[in-house]
Amino acid sequence: MEFPNRVLVIDDDRELCKLVKEFLEPEFQVYSVSRGDEGARRAQDDNFSLIVLDVMLPGLSGFEVLRQLRENNCATPVLMLTARGDDIDRIVGLELGADDYLAKPFNPRELTARIHAILRRARPAPSAAVRAKFQCDDLELDVLARRVRCDSQTLDLTAVEFDLLTLLVKNLGVVVSRDDLAKHALDRKWTAYDRSIDMHVSNLRKKIGPAPDGSERIKSIRSVGYVLVSAEYEMRNAE
């Protein structure tokens, strides 16, 4: 039997790993390791569709594993497992490039739903008669290739960051609510205490940098959401 998706679980809770494996198979081929250093090596040496990564690990912490993966240009989507109610862990994980997080203890069905959502975002968009390429000042976005270039340099974006930028580019000059951003990039509703969207936008801002004139590309609209602005767009509308 061919498995379309291979999932690596990095967690030292062997019972949890066993439960996740039993619940995800046969839809996914699941591998597990119990140490952070071993998980980091395995994630970079092998080809996985997604990594489920615990924060507290022997060898290397989940944060250090994630840092190594992103620094080595490993773009495999990562779902972090955090302690319930520990906002700091969630914020740090998102800052380091995690695609999403799930608090322990969790319902296996929610884990499956989060994995499906992340994998849907990571897949290339199907060919269709839709506009596939966009440009905003020196920022170029190719939807079908899931590629972003800025000032002629290819940017290394996570799946979530790419989807957020795509929605903002398609709505250039229009404020997009956090709820719409969450639905599009995370496949879930935004809640008042969820910092995920803000952290992903913060990471995206750092990667795309300022506009050619030094101004901020993505502006925050308090209590509403975000808007992508363009000098060329504003000049056209002023004419």
How far apart are alpha carbons 33 and 45 in whole angstroms? Answer: 14
- Tell me the longest C-alpha to C-alpha distance in the chain: 65
How far apart are alpha carbons 212 and 53 in whole angstroms? Answer: 37
Helix (H) / strand (E) element for 214: namely none
- Whole-number pLDDT of residue 195: 84
- Whole-number pLDDT of residue 83: 79
Q: In this structure, are residues 205 and 213 in contact, taking their beta carbons and an 8 Å threshold?
A: no
The mean pLDDT of 23-28, rounded to a whole number, is: 86
Q: In this structure, are residues 38 and 68 in contact, taking their beta carbons and an 8 Å threshold?
A: no
59-95 pLDDT tens trace: 999 999 999 999 998 889 999 998 766 778 888 888 8
Instruction: Give the residue among 119, 109, 98 at the shortest CA–CA distance from 3.
Output: 119
User: Which are the contacts of 27, defined by CB distance < 8 A and separation ≥ 6?
Assistant: 5, 112
Helix (H) / strand (E) element for 142: namely strand 139-142
Q: How confident is the model at residue 52 (pLDDT cuts 50, 70, 90)?
A: very high
Q: Which segments of 45-132 are extended strands (E)?
A: 50-54, 78-83, 100-104
Q: How confident is the model at residue 145 (pLDDT cuts 50, 70, 90)?
A: confident
Question: Is 80 exceeded by the pLDDT of residue 17?
Answer: yes
90-112 pLDDT tens trace: 888 888 999 999 998 899 889 99
